Amino acid sequence: MTTLVLSILLVLEPGGAAGHRPAAPPPPTIDWSDFFETVSNQGVVFSERLKTLEGTRVRIRGYRVAEPPQAGALLLTRIPFAESDPNAPGEELDVPFDTVGVVWRTGIALPPVPAHPTVEGTLRLGNRDLGEQIVVLTLEDAVPVIPQAAAKSAKPR
C-alpha cells in the first residue's frame, strides 16, 4: 500500500514522472509534389499519402499570396506568386490550381506572416471557398510554425 501511495504521489507531483514526458513529435510535413496522383483536364486525383493524412495535422511551407488579403485566412503557393494581370475590384484572383488555403485558428494573436512561411493545420481535401477564391486543399485551425531559435529570442527578458 505504501508503495502504491508513493508511486501516485510521484506521478502527481509537479516535476514528477508525469512532468518528464518527451515532447510529441511534430506533425508530418507535406510537400507540393505529394498532392496529386494525376492532374488532367477532367480534374485532379489526390495522392494516397494525402488521402491517408486527411483530417490530421500536417505542416507545409509555401509562399504567401499577399494581395488581396483574406479575412482570417491565407493563400499559399508552391512558387512566389505575382498577379500577372491585376484584377479590378470584385474580380477573381487567378492563383495556381494547387494553391493551399490556410484558415487561421480563432482567438490567436497572429504574428506578421513572412513571405515564405511554414504553417501547421488540419488537412482537408476538396473544393472550398475562401472569400472569392476556391482552393482544393485547406489547412484548418492553422497556426504559423515559428522556428525554435526565433521563438526563444522573441521571449521577453
Task: Indicate the domain borders of the chain.
Answer: 25-154
pLDDT band at 84; cut points 50, 70, 90: low
pTM: 0.74
Of the pLDDT bands very low, low, confident and very high (cuts 50, 70, 90), residue 99 is: very high
Q: What backbone phi and psi angles, to 5 degrees, belong to 150? A: -70, -40
Tell me which fold the domain 25-154 belongs to.
OB fold (Dihydrolipoamide Acetyltransferase, E2P) (2.40.50)
Question: Letter for the amino acid at 133?
Answer: Q
**C-alpha–C-alpha distance, residues 102 and 144, integer Å:** 10
CA angle 113, 117, 120 (to 5 degrees): 100
Contact 136, 97 (CB under 8 A): yes
